[in-house]
Amino acid sequence: MEKKRAALMRHLIKQEGYDDHTLADDIVHGFSLVCDSPTSSVLPPKLVPATISKEDLHRHSDKASKALRYMTRSSGDDELDKGLCTKTLAEVDKGWMRGPLPWDELPVGAAVSRRFPLSQSGKVRPIDDLSQSQVNSTVNTFEFGRIGQLALQDITKHAYANPFVASLSERLVNSLEL
């Protein structure tokens, strides 16, 4: 089924003349959390350089992970904690992450990020804090990315041209909390 979804996305991108021709493949193969972020050719250019290197991240990660271990605690809400655990284990089952791993079995240089639950529209949403672990600081970005007026204008423009995309766009816009 996933191959069909990716093929449909590729078809829609081509049919609609969307400039980010590699988007479907990027989603299928995943995005690197460190180094250079891919460019879409859709957003305005803006260089935001990394503030630390990947090597520095690995060099300092053992101390940072140890500090995180002692900071880890319950959210204070048993239902949120259970929901987070359930969602996390589902991601493990899908192969999106490994775990649970005992702290002493983490590879040397592993950058561990805090994960916490957020209640959103009655559902538990897992949030990975990649800022605290400094993973975000290793990324070079080359475009000004934002969700908001620019993206909604683009969605609306394509929606008028294609009823199928209009239906998808309406659902996307309704799901966004701006």
Q: Note the pLDDT tens digit of each residue in 110-150.
A: 889 999 999 999 999 999 998 888 998 999 989 886 655 44
Residues 80 and 116 in one domain: yes
Q: What is the mean pLDDT of the chain?
A: 81
Domain that holds residue 8: 1-30
Q: Is residue 38, in this structure, part of any structural domain at all? A: no
Residue whose entry in the numeric block shows the structure tokens 């996390």: 88
What pLDDT, on the 0 to 100 scale, is given for residue 4? 84
Residues 72 and 152 in one domain: no
Residues 54 and 91 in one domain: yes
Residues 139 and 54 in one domain: yes
Residues 139 and 57 in one domain: yes
Residues 137 and 151 in one domain: no
Query: Does pLDDT of 156 surpass 80?
Result: no
CA distance 144 to 19: 16
Q: Which uninterrupted H or E stretch holds 48?
A: strand 45-48
Residues 21 and 100 in one domain: no
Compute the average pLDDT of residues 48-71: 90
Residues 67 and 94 in one domain: yes
What pLDDT, on the 0 to 100 scale, is given for residue 117? 95
Residues 55 and 123 in one domain: yes
Q: Which amino acid is at 15?
A: Q
Residues 70 and 5 in one domain: no
What pLDDT, on the 0 to 100 scale, is given for residue 168? 52
The tally of domains found in the chain comes to 3
Compute the average pLDDT of residues 52-81: 90
